[in-house]
Amino acid sequence: MQIHIIYTRTVMLLSKHPYQSWREIQNQYPEYMTSLGPWEEDTVIEYLADEYPELSPHPQEQVNAFIADTQEARVLTFAA
């Protein structure tokens, strides 16, 4: 599955939507800053685990739950 990591001014989220360009993402998220992908889920998990060790639950759990979910996007959660 191809996943985008989207950064906005207030949240970081995952999206399954098959965006054609970053402009499409920017149109959907008014606070858009940047995005990565689309990447395969293993690449997303590896990147998040390396760059954001404070994610909680672990990135693998968050990505797997996102893939199993019917929602097209999900905000990533961090330890308090």
Q: Model pTM?
A: 0.95
Alpha carbon of 1 to those of 27, 33, 73: distances in Å?
23, 23, 13
Each residue of 13-70: pLDDT tens digit? 999 999 999 999 999 999 999 999 999 999 999 999 999 999 999 999 999 999 999 9
